[in-house]
A = this chain, B = another copy of it.
């Protein structure tokens, strides 16, 4: 799947992943109204509104980008109805030929991580049959429990030719609280990064491993160090746009081959119509605004990479 991701990045010229992280207040009023009219102001109604909103965005941007990253929490907040729409979104994106990165940040003791890996990337056995649960292509994984919390995901990736991105240095303001603590003079995230590189060496596609890393766009200096520490690791970079990251901050996340990183923007794309810059699209034009924002993001990143 890492080869598919790389091929799609090359084809689209866009090392971009659109984060499908719908909050109900991002969903334009006309979509909410229609869904509530049909299903009431219920969890089902909310989920239906999210689905219509997602579908509009996917239909408007799918040809420009290699991948999407639905954040499962935004669906899980609506309980079972929300998760039904998470699954529907995963399925629809895969039908459109998009690589789907499930942003699930799971991680547990061995046997439990195995269950997550099976449910999200692999197949679960029921009697003589095997079924995909959610069927993403990649998922994000939390490393706090160490190797035996991560390796079950790697095992399923090997069987299914899928991949993971392990949290190394996250984009949020307090990520340094534990991740930056010095261990023998070096921040913890570097040790985690080295571990990711080590796990990844056994899991190579061609130039890159299918064990990737998450490093926030909001920490460009750390990104520069981690890029060198994990040369064969694909880095998923959240925090562009709404969280504050800009194209110029991102150049050091890429290798000389122009690859090695994929930049996520969520709110900055899917709620672009709420920004002054794209206000002329109006509520009804939210999907076209998302398309315009993807084009602008592609240009910003390409410009930064050319200018380095």
Report whether B80 and A124 are in contact in the complex, using a CB–CB cutoff of 8 Å: no
A97 interface hit (Cβ, 8 Å): no
Chain A, residues 2-30, CB within 8 Å of chain B (1/0): the string is 00000000000000000001011000000
A284 interface hit (Cβ, 8 Å): no
The residues of B that contact A74 with a CB separation of less than 8 Å are 112, 115
A237 to B51, CA, bound (A): 40
Report whether B178 and A188 are in contact in the complex, using a CB–CB cutoff of 8 Å: yes
A171 interface hit (Cβ, 8 Å): yes
Which among B42, B105, B107, B191 is the interface contact of A129 at CB below 8 angstroms? B42
Task: For residue A195, give the distance in angstroms from its CB to the closest CB of chain B.
Answer: 7
Report whether B43 and A126 are in contact in the complex, using a CB–CB cutoff of 8 Å: yes
A73-B116 contact, Cβ under 8 Å, with A45-B126, A78-B133, A170-B109 = yes
Task: For residue A226, give the distance in angstroms from its CB to the closest CB of chain B.
Answer: 16
Task: For residue A145, give the distance in angstroms from its CB to the closest CB of chain B.
Answer: 5
Nearest residue, chain B, Cβ from A171: B109
Which among B118, B125, B145 is the interface contact of A174 at CB below 8 angstroms? B145
Report whether B80 and A112 are in contact in the complex, using a CB–CB cutoff of 8 Å: no
A118 to B171, CA, bound (A): 22
Report whether A87 and B80 are in contact in the complex, using a CB–CB cutoff of 8 Å: yes
Report whether A83 and B82 are in contact in the complex, using a CB–CB cutoff of 8 Å: no
Report whether A143 and B146 are in contact in the complex, using a CB–CB cutoff of 8 Å: no
Which among B78, B109, B124, B178 is the interface contact of A77 at CB below 8 angstroms? B124
Task: For residue A8, give the distance in angstroms from its CB to the closest CB of chain B.
Answer: 26
Report whether A147 and B133 are in contact in the complex, using a CB–CB cutoff of 8 Å: no
Report whether B177 and A112 are in contact in the complex, using a CB–CB cutoff of 8 Å: no
Which among B24, B87, B176, B192 is the interface contact of A79 at CB below 8 angstroms? B87
A307 interface hit (Cβ, 8 Å): no
> What are 15 inter-chain pairs, A to B, with CB distance below 8 A?
A71-B108, A71-B112, A73-B108, A79-B132, A105-B106, A109-B170, A109-B172, A142-B142, A147-B174, A147-B177, A177-B195, A178-B188, A178-B191, A183-B188, A188-B188
